[in-house]
Amino acid sequence: MTEYSGQQLTHALQEAQLTDWHAAEDGLRTRFSTGDFMAGLELVQRIAAVAEDAGHHPDLLLTFPHVEVRLISHDVEAVTDRDLQLARQISELAASAEIEVAPTD
Ligand SMILES: C[C@H](O)[C@H](O)[C@H]1CNC2=NC(N)=NC(=O)C2=N1
């Protein structure tokens, strides 16, 4: 399976039109503006369900106004197509809940 990094990952994100996400040193990252803790928990529950179905899991941080998501394939410590696929599913969940990506600092 392809392991993406650097420019290759940035290109893969553009190709896949995964505009919610950015290539970080430690994987794919995004942060959703949920607005309150319980809305964030609901999004986390939905993400958990698709992750379980996929057998591939994100790292999540739930805070009052945000849900932060990191995706990396821990078995190879690199971003793979599994992460790109789950990123798409997570973006679709957020979009269906009308949750937007938080502005970057
Ligand atoms: C057995 C189980 O499917 C594997 O351990 C899965 C679980 N979820 C996973 N999630 C992520 N992000 N990386 C993995 O390597 C991984 N492995």
The domains located in the chain, with CATH, are 3-101 (3.30.1360.20)
The mean pLDDT value of the chain amounts to 96
Report which protein residue has its CA nearest ligand 1's atom 17.
56
Residue 83 CA: which ligand 1 atom is closest? Answer: 12
Give this complex's ipTM. 0.96
* Predicted pLDDT at 103: 86
Phi and psi angles of residue 76, each rounded to the nearest 5 degrees, phi first: -120, 0
Q: Tokens in use for 85?
A: 């696929």
pTM of model > 0.90: yes
Q: Which of 29, 72, 73 has most ligand 1 atoms within 8 Å of its beta carbon, as the pocket-test mutant?
A: 73
How much distance in Å is there from the Cα of 97 to the middle of ligand 1?
26
Beta bridge partners of 30: 69
73 three-state secondary structure: strand
**Percent of the chain clearing pLDDT 90 (strictly above):** 94
* Predicted pLDDT at 6: 87
How confident is the model over 45-85, as pLDDT tens digits? 999 999 999 999 999 999 999 999 999 999 999 999 999 99
